[in-house]
C-alpha cells in the first residue's frame, strides 16, 4: 500500500465535487472515487456530455441542472484527482479503503475519508413492480440525461414528490405523451405550518408551482389521492390499475414510472459500520453526524444526501463544510480561518435546507407495510413476498437479520438495498414496534460487485 | 420502448444476443437495452421471470447481463465499447436437490 | 412464572435441536433466545455435516460425529415433514483437497491414523488420486493432486435448518428472552429472561459463547473461547459442484460458500482483507471458474471452542440438573442432539459413556 491520501472522497455528485474543489484548493491531496464514468452524481448526471453535445436539452432539463455546472466546472478545474468507473467495496475503521477498477482490486489508505454517496429512490413495492415496463422516475430521468432517451409510447407516472413533477415537465418539453399522473396522497394542509420557514426558499416554491402549472396547462390528467397502485401484465406491463374515490380504474400503458421520494443511501456507512439513527420525518436511517459531517468514527465523515435528504445545493454546502474540517484537521488552516469560513458555510447550508421540512410534510413517505398484500414481492432479488416476512415474524423473528436468514430477503445481489426498509416496516407493523427498535440489516462487505478472482489478486 | 431525442454524431456498434445495434458513444449497456425494443435483460434464478432495468443507478441489480462472456454485469454501470457482445441471461441451471 | 420440565437456554442450532428433541419426547420445554443481534454462530457458519476429520486423537468424538452423520437423514426427513419445507440437506460424501504431494501425504497420514483409531467401527474415509477426484468434480483446477473422500459427509443450509427447528418448536421458542439470571432453588431453577420468569426442574445451557456467563451464574467456569472464522458467499451460479468440502461448497440455492479461517482474536468478528485474500486464492486454485463469480457478502463468525476443539457435555458442578452442551459443530451434530442427546435427557441424564466429554478432561491434561 502506498502513502496515505490526505482526503479520499467517495462519490462525485454535488457534495463530493464541492468538497474536492475546496480541499484541493487548500492544498490537500484529494482523490475522488466515482463508480460512474463521468462526474455529476445522479442530479448532474452527464452534464459534460450534455453541455458539449446536446446543449439544446438544457432548455427542458431546467435551471437546477444548469446550476450544477458551476460546481462541476470548479471541480474539474481543481487539482483533485478524479478516478471514474472505480467502485469502493470496503471501508474499514482504520480508514483503509477497498477499491475496484477495471477488474482489479486494491487497498488504499486515507488520512480522512468523506463519504458522499448521495441518495436513492425509496423502494416502495406494489404488485407487479418487477415486471419489465415498470421503472423508477429517477431511472427514466437518468435515461434522459445520460442518453437522451424518452419513452416511445404513453407513460404513466405513479407516486409523488418533486422529482416526479420535474420529470413530467421535462417529458412535456421533449414531446412525450403522459397518459396520467397518479398521485399517491400529497398533503398540502400538513405542509402549511412549514411554509413560513420555507419562505426563505421562495425560489423553491416558485419553481415547484411553475412546474405544476406547466403540467396542468399541458392538459395532463392528474389523479389525486390514488391508492392500490398495481402493475398488470404477463411477462411485461400491459396496464396500470389504481383505486380512487372507492372505484378501481385501469389505464393501458407499456411503461409505468414510480417515485415515492428519495432516501439516504447508507449502504457504505452501515457496512463500516458507523452509528446510525432512525429519522422519523424522512422515514429512513441516517448516519449520526455533527455539523461538519463527522461520524462517530475518527476521520470518517459523510456529506450530502447520504447524511440526510437536503437537496443538491445543501449537499454542496455540506461537502464544503466537511472538506473544510478535513483541511483544518490536517493543519492547512488556522482555527480562526476554520471558524470564519465555517460560519459562512453553515449559514449558507441552513438557508438551503429551509425548504426541506415543507417538502417532507407535503410529500410524506407512504406507510406501506399494513396495506401490502401478502403476495406482493418485497425482495426483488430473492423474490420474497410480504407474506413470507409476516410468516417469519409469526415464527418469532423480531428483526430484519432474523427474517433475512429465514427467508433470504436481503441476501441477493442488491444486498438489501431494495427491501431493507420495507422488510423492517413489515416487522414493525406486525409487532407494533417503532422502526428504531426493529433496526436494519447488518450490511456486509463487499458493498459493490467484486469477483472472487479480484479479491484473490488483491493489491 | 424508448427512443432517442437526437441523431448522434459519434456512434458505435455492439451486439445484443448477436443482433447488431448502433448507438451513441457514452451510452450504457442498459440504455442500449432500453433503446433496443426489448428491455428484458435476464431471467431470475428463483422463478425464471423476465427482468428489465429498474433503477439505472446501480442499486437494484436487476439489469444484470452477460458482457463479453462475463455474466452478471450491471448493465447500467457499464459503458458500451465497439464490438461489445451483450447477452441476455437465462435462468442459471439449478442445483440438483 | 412460566413452569416447564426443562428450560433450554440458547436458541441457536444446539439449543433448538435439543429443545426439539425434548419436545418430541413429550417434555414440557421452553427454548430461550436472544434478539435480532447476537453472536449467533448458527447464522454465520459454513453448513457442513462433517465426519472425516472429527475426533482425531479423541475416539468418543469420532464416534459421536459418525453417529450424528448416521442419524442425520432420518432426523432431516422427519423434520422436513413436520414443518413442510426442505432444508437443503445432501449426503453424497465430502472431500478435502490436497494441492501438493506433501499435502497429500499428510492427509493420507491423518486418514490412516483415524482408521487405526476407529478400528472395526468402520471409518470409511479414503484417499483418492487426482483422476478419480476429477471424475467426480470436473471443475477442479490443475493444482489439485488428490483428495480425501468420506462417504458419510454431507451439507445442509444451516439457516433453513434453524428455521425448521424454530418452526417445529412453535410456541415453545421464546425470542428476545435472553437469560439474565439463573437461581438454583429447591427442586430446580428459576430463570429471569426478558420480562418473564421461568421455572423448571432442569436447565440445559446451550447458548454457545453465552454459556460462559450462564455457567458463571451457577458458580462454574467453562474452558471455552471464541475463534474467528471468515466466510464469503457468492452470487447464485449454475450448478457445477456436487460435493461439499472444507473450504468450498455450492448450496442448493446455487450460491457458493468459501471459507474458513481460524483466528484467535477474541470477540472481534470483523473481516480482514488479507485473510479473505487467502481464502479466495485457495478457492480459485480449487475451482478456477470461481474467479469470475461475484462475492455477495463476507463476514466473520465466532466458533465456540474448547481447548481440544471437541464438545463439552456435562452437568455443572454441584448442580446435577444443570446440563451443559457446548460445541463448535451445531450443524453436524444437530441430528444427534435432537435424536440421541435429548433422548438421554428425557431418560434422566447423561449416560456413563459421555463422561469423557466432561471438561475435567482438561484438568487431567494439565496435571499430566
Mapping DSSP onto H, E and C, the string for A245-286 reads: CCEEEEEECCEEEEEECEEECCHHHHHCCCCEEEECCCCEEE
B78 closest CA partner among B91, B92, B63, B89: B63
The owner of cell 432474523 is: A402
Q: Give pLDDT, residue C41.
A: 72
Nearest CA in chain A to B39: A132
Q: Determine contact: A385 vs chain B, CB below 8 A.
A: no
Beta-strand pair A5-10/A104-115: parallel
Q: Give pLDDT, residue C43.
A: 75
C-beta atoms of A400 and C293 within 8 A: no
For residues A184 and C144, give the distance between their C-alpha atoms in angstroms, rounded to a whole number: 60
Band (C117; pLDDT cuts 50, 70, 90): very high
Q: pLDDT tens digits, residue range A149-205?
A: 999 989 999 999 989 999 999 999 889 999 999 999 877 777 777 776 666 666 667
- Chains in contact with chain B (at least 3 beta-carbon pairs closer than 8 A): A, C
| 8 Å CB contact between C170 and C129 | no
- H helices of C119-154, in order, are 130-136
For residues A254 and A231, give the distance between their C-alpha atoms in angstroms, rounded to a whole number: 10
C-alpha cell at C347: 431418560
Give the 3-state secondary structure of residue C366: helix
Whether the pTM exceeds 0.80: the reply is yes
C-beta atoms of A402 and C290 within 8 A: no
The Cα angle at residue A25 between residues A21 and A29, in degrees rounded to 5? 85
Question: A135 to chain B: which residues are within 8 Å by CB?
Answer: 52-56
Q: Give pLDDT, residue A202.
A: 63
Question: C234 to chain B: which residues are within 8 Å by CB?
Answer: none
C166 closest CA partner among C298, C23, C54: C23
Q: Give pLDDT, residue A192.
A: 72
Residue A61 confidence (pLDDT) above 80? no
Q: Give pLDDT, residue A426.
A: 97
Q: Give pLDDT, residue C39.
A: 61
For A366, which DSSP code?
P
Report DSSP letters for A100-132, one per residue.
EETTEEEEEEEEEEEE---EEEPP---TTTTST
- Computed over every residue of chain C, the mean pLDDT equals 94
C41 closest CA partner among C208, C166, C213: C208
For residues C165 and B6, give the distance between their C-alpha atoms in angstroms, rounded to a whole number: 60
A75 closest CA partner among A29, A19, A7: A19
| Helical (H) or strand (E) element with B33 | helix B29-35
Across A298-317, average pLDDT: 94
C-beta atoms of A235 and B50 within 8 A: yes
- Chains in contact with chain C (at least 3 beta-carbon pairs closer than 8 A): A, B
**Conformation bin of residue C124: beta by default, left when phi > 0, alpha when psi is -120 to 50:** left
Backbone angles phi, psi at A351, to 5 degrees: -65, -45
Q: Give pLDDT, residue A42.
A: 86
Beta-strand pair A178-183/A155-160: parallel
Nearest CA in chain B to A417: B59
Q: Which residues, listed in sequence order, are joined to residue A260 by a DSSP beta bridge?
A: A160
CB–CB contacts below 8 A, A to C: 100
| 8 Å CB contact between A195 and A189 | no
Across A28-53, average pLDDT: 88
For residues B52 and B83, give the distance between their C-alpha atoms in angstroms, rounded to a whole number: 22
Q: Give pLDDT, residue A370.
A: 87
C-beta atoms of C237 and B92 within 8 A: yes
Domain ranges of chain C: 2-79+158-224+308-367, 94-150, 225-305
Q: Which CATH number is C225-305's, of 3.10.180.10, 3.30.9.10, 3.40.1160.10, 3.40.50.970? A: 3.30.9.10
For C257, which DSSP code?
E
Burial class (CB within 10 angstroms; exposed 0-12, middle 13-18, buried 19+) of C99: middle
Across A300-325, average pLDDT: 95
Residue A41 confidence (pLDDT) above 70? yes
Nearest CA in chain B to A259: B55
Beta-strand pair A222-223/A227-232: unpaired
Range name among A224-228, A366-370, C207-211 with the lowest pLDDT average: A366-370
For A4, which DSSP code?
P
Question: B71 to chain C: which residues are within 8 Å by CB?
Answer: 292
Determine if the peptide bond prior to C260 is cis (ω within 30°).
Answer: yes
Across C292-315, average pLDDT: 95
C-beta atoms of A136 and B39 within 8 A: no
Q: Give pLDDT, residue A303.
A: 98
CB–CB contacts below 8 A, B to C: 28
For residues A224 and A188, give the distance between their C-alpha atoms in angstroms, rounded to a whole number: 12
Band (C157; pLDDT cuts 50, 70, 90): very high
For residues A353 and A348, give the distance between their C-alpha atoms in angstroms, rounded to a whole number: 9
Domain ranges of chain B: 11-87
C-beta atoms of C239 and B70 within 8 A: no
**Stronger pLDDT, C34 or A130, i.e. the higher one:** A130
Determine which of A42, A119, A149 to mutate to test the interface with B (most B C-beta atoms within 10 Å). A149
| 8 Å CB contact between B60 and B52 | no
Nearest CA in chain A to C256: A452
Residues in chain B: 97
Q: What ipTM was reported for this prediction? A: 0.96
Question: C90 to chain B: which residues are within 8 Å by CB?
Answer: 97
Q: Which CATH number is C2-79+158-224+308-367's, of 3.40.50.10800, 4.10.780.10, 3.40.47.10, 3.50.50.60? A: 3.50.50.60
For residues C291 and A136, give the distance between their C-alpha atoms in angstroms, rounded to a whole number: 33
Q: Give pLDDT, residue A182.
A: 97
Question: A442 to chain C: which residues are within 8 Å by CB?
Answer: 37
Range name among A372-381, C31-40, C308-317 with the lowest pLDDT average: C31-40
Q: Determine contact: C268 vs chain B, CB below 8 A.
A: no
Question: B7 to chain A: which residues are within 8 Å by CB?
Answer: none
Across A409-423, average pLDDT: 96
For residues A48 and A25, give the distance between their C-alpha atoms in angstroms, rounded to a whole number: 22
For residues C4 and B88, give the distance between their C-alpha atoms in angstroms, rounded to a whole number: 58
C246 closest CA partner among C297, C199, C290, C286: C286
Nearest CA in chain C to B96: C252
Q: Give pLDDT, residue A197.
A: 66
Across the interface, which of C86, C235, C254 has its CB nearest the CB of B94?
Answer: C254
Residue C366 confidence (pLDDT) above 60? no
Q: pLDDT tens digits, residue range C249-299?
A: 999 999 999 998 999 999 998 999 999 999 999 999 999 999 999 999 999
C-beta atoms of A456 and C299 within 8 A: no
C325 closest CA partner among C25, C31, C24: C31
Residues in chain C: 368
Q: Quote the minimal CA–CA distance from C295 to chain A in Å.
A: 6
Across C14-33, average pLDDT: 97
Residue C180 confidence (pLDDT) above 60? yes
Nearest CA in chain B to A118: B57
Backbone angles phi, psi at A73, to 5 degrees: -65, -40
C-beta atoms of B59 and A235 within 8 A: no
Q: Which residues, listed in sequence order, are joined to residue A87 by a DSSP beta bridge?
A: A100
Q: Give pLDDT, residue B8.
A: 65
Range name among A64-73, B84-93, C223-232 with the lowest pLDDT average: A64-73
CATH architecture entry for B11-87: Roll (3.10)
Range name among A20-24, A256-260, C44-48 with the lowest pLDDT average: C44-48
C-beta atoms of C251 and B72 within 8 A: no
Q: Give pLDDT, residue C115.
A: 93
**Residue C155: how many CB atoms within 10 A of its CB?**
26
Across A351-357, average pLDDT: 86
Residue A141 confidence (pLDDT) above 60? yes
The owner of cell 452527464 is: A46
Q: Which residues, listed in sequence order, are joined to residue C184 by a DSSP beta bridge?
A: C189
- Computed over every residue of chain B, the mean pLDDT equals 93
Burial class (CB within 10 angstroms; exposed 0-12, middle 13-18, buried 19+) of C295: buried
Compute the Cα dihedral for A397, A401, A405, A411 and give only its sign: positive
| Percent of the residues in chain A that have a pLDDT greater than 70, as a whole number | 98
Nearest CA in chain B to C295: B72
Q: Give pLDDT, residue A307.
A: 95
Beta carbons within 8 Å of C169's beta carbon, 6+ residues apart:
C16, C19, C20, C23, C31
Q: Which residues, listed in sequence order, are joined to residue C226 by a DSSP beta bridge?
A: C304
Amino acid at each position: 500500500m502506498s502513502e496515505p491520501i490526505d482526503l479520499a472522497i467517495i462519490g462525485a455528485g454535488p457534495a463530493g465535487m464541492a468538497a474536492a474543489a475546496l480541499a484541493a484548493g487548500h492544498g490537500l491531496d484529494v482523490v475522488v472515487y466515482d463508480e460512474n464514468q463521468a462526474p455529476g452524481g445522479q442530479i448532474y448526471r452527464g452534464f459534460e456530455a450534455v453541455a458539449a453535445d446536446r446543449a439544446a436539452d438544457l432548455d427542458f432539463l431546467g435551471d437546477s441542472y444548469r446550476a450544477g455546472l458551476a460546481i462541476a466546472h470548479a471541480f474539474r478545474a481543481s487539482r483533485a484527482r478524479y478516478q471514474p468507473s472505480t467502485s469502493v467495496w470496503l471501508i474499514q475503521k482504520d480508514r483503509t479503503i477497498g477499491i475496484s477498477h477495471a477488474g482489479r482490486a486494491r487497498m488504499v489508505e486515507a488520512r480522512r475519508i468523506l463519504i458522499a454517496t448521495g441518495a436513492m429512490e425509496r423502494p416502495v413495492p406494489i404488485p407487479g413492480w418487477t415486471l419489465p415496463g415498470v421503472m423508477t422516475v429517477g431511472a427514466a430521468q437518468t435515461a434522459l440525461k445520460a442518453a437522451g432517451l424518452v419513452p416511445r409510447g404513453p407513460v404513466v407516472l405513479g407516486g409523488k414528490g418533486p422529482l416526479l413533477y420535474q420529470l413530467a415537465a421535462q417529458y412535456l418539453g421533449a414531446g412525450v405523451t403522459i397518459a396520467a399522473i397518479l398521485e399517491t396522497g400529497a398533503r398540502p394542509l400538513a405542509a402549511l405550518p412549514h411554509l413560513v420557514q420555507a419562505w426563505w426558499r421562495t425560489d423553491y416554491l416558485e419553481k415547484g408551482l411553475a412546474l405544476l402549472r406547466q403540467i396542468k396547462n399541458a392538459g395532463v390528467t392528474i389523479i389525486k389521492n390514488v391508492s392500490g397502485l398495481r402493475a398488470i401484465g404477463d411477462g411485461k406491463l400491459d396496464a396500470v390499475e389504481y383505486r380512487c374515490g372507492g372505484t378501481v380504474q385501469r389505464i393501458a400503458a407499456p411503461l409505468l414510472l414510480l417515485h415515492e421520494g428519495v432516501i439516504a443511501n447508507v449502504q457504505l456507512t452501515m457496512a463500516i459500520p458507523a452509528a446510525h439513527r432512525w429519522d422519523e420525518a424522512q422515514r429512513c436511517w441516517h448516519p449520526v453526524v455533527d455539523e461538519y459531517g463527522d461520524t462517530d468514527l475518527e476521520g470518517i465523515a459523510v456529506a450530502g444526501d447520504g447524511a440526510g435528504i437536503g437537496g443538491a445545493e445543501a449537499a454542496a454546502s455540506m461537502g464544503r463544510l466537511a472538506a473544510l474540517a478535513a483541511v483544518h484537521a490536517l493543519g492547512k488552516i488556522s482555527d480562526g480561518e476554520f471558524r470564519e469560513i465555517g460560519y459562512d458555510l453553515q449559514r449558507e447550508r441552513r438557508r438551503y435546507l429551509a425548504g426541506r421540512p415543507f417538502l417532507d410534510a407535503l410529500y410524506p413517505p407512504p406507510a406501506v407495510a399494513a396495506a401490502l398484500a401478502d403476495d406482493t414481492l418485497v425482495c426483488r432479488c430473492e423474490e420474497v413476498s410480504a407474506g413470507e416476512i409476516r410468516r417469519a415474524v409469526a415464527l418469532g423473528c423480531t428483526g430484519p437479520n432474523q427474517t433475512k436468514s429465514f427467508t433470504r430477503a436481503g441476501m441477493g445481489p442488491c444486498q438489501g438495498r431494495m427491501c431493507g426498509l420495507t422488510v423492517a416496516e413489515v416487522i414493525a407493523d406486525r409487532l407494533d414496534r417503532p422502526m428504531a427498535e426493529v433496526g436494519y440489516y447488518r450490511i456486509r462487505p463487499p458493498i459493490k460487485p467484486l469477483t472472487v478472482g479480484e479479491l484473490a489478486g488483491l493489491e | 420502448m424508448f427512443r432517442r431525442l437526437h441523431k448522434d454524431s459519434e456512434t458505435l456498434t455492439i451486439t445484443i444476443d448477436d443482433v447488431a445495434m448502433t448507438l451513441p458513444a457514452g451510452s450504457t449497456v442498459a440504455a442500449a437495452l432500453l433503446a433496443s425494443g426489448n428491455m428484458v435483460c435476464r431471467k431470475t434464478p428463483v422463478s425464471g421471470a423476465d427482468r428489465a432495468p429498474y433503477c439505472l443507478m446501480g442499486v437494484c441489480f436487476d439489469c444484470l447481463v452477460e458482457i463479453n462472456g462475463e455474466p452478471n454485469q450491471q448493465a447500467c454501470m457499464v459503458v458500451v465499447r465497439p464490438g461489445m457482445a451483450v447477452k441476455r441471461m437465462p435462468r442459471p441451471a439449478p442445483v440438483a436437490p | 412464572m412460566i413452569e416447564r420440565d426443562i428450560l433450554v437456554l440458547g436458541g441457536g442450532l444446539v439449543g433448538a435441536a435439543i429443545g426439539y428433541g425434548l419436545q418430541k419426547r413429550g417434555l414440557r420445554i421452553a427454548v430461550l433466545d436472544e434478539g435480532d443481534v447476537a453472536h449467533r454462530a448458527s447464522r454465520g457458519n459454513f453448513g457442513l455435516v462433517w465426519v472425516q476429520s472429527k475426533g482425531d486423537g479423541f475416539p468418543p468424538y469420532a464416534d459421536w460425529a459418525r453417529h450424528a452423520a448416521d442419524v442425520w437423514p432420518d432426523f432431516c426427513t422427519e423434520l422436513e415433514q413436520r414443518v413442510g419445507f426442505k432444508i437443503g440437506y445432501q449426503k453424497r460424501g465430502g472431500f478435502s483437497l490436497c494441492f501438493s504431494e506433501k499435502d497429500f501425504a499428510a492427509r493420507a497420514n491423518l486418514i490412516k491414523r483415524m482408521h487405526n483409531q476407529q478400528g472395526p467401527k468402520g471409518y470409511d474415509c479414503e484417499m483418492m488420486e487426482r483422476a478419480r477426484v476429477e471424475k467426480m468434480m470436473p471443475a477442479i483446477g490443475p493444482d489439485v493432486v488428490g483428495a480425501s473422500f468420506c462417504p458419510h459427509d454431507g451439507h445442509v443450509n444451516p439457516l433453513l435448518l434453524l428455521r425448521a427447528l424454530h418452526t417445529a418448536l412453535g410456541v415453545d421458542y421464546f425470542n428476545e428472552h435472553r437469560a439474565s439470571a439463573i437461581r438454583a432453588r429447591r427442586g430446580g431453577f428459576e430463570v429471569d429472561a426478558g420480562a418473564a420468569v421461568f421455572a423448571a426442574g432442569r436447565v440445559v445451557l446451550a447458548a454457545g459463547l453465552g454459556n460462559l456467563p450462564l455457567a458463571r451464574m451457577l458458580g462454574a467456569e467453562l474452558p471455552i473461547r471464541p475463534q474467528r472464522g471468515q466466510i464469503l458467499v457468492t452470487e447464485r451460479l449454475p450448478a457445477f459442484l456436487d460435493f461439499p468440502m472444507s473450504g468450498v461448497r455450492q448450496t442448493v440455492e446455487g450460491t457458493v460458500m468459501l471459507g474458513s479461517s481460524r483466528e484467535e482474536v477474541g470477540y472481534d468478528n470483523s473481516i480482514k482483507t488479507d485473510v479473505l485474500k487467502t481464502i479466495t486464492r485457495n478457492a480459485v486454485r480449487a475451482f478456477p471458474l470461481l474467479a469470475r463469480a461475484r462475492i455477495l457478502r463476507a463476514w466473520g463468525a465466532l466458533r465456540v471452542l474448547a481447548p481440544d476443539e471437541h464438545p463439552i457435555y456435562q452437568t455443572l458442578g454441584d448442580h446435577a440438573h444443570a446440563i451443559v452442551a457446548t460445541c463448535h459443530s451445531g450443524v453436524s451434530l444437530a441430528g444427534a442432539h435432537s435424536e440421541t442427546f435429548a433422548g438421554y435427557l428425557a431418560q434422566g441424564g447423561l449416560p456413563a459413556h459421555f463422561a469423557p466429554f466432561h471438561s475435567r478432561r482438561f484438568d487431567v491434561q494439565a496435571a499430566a
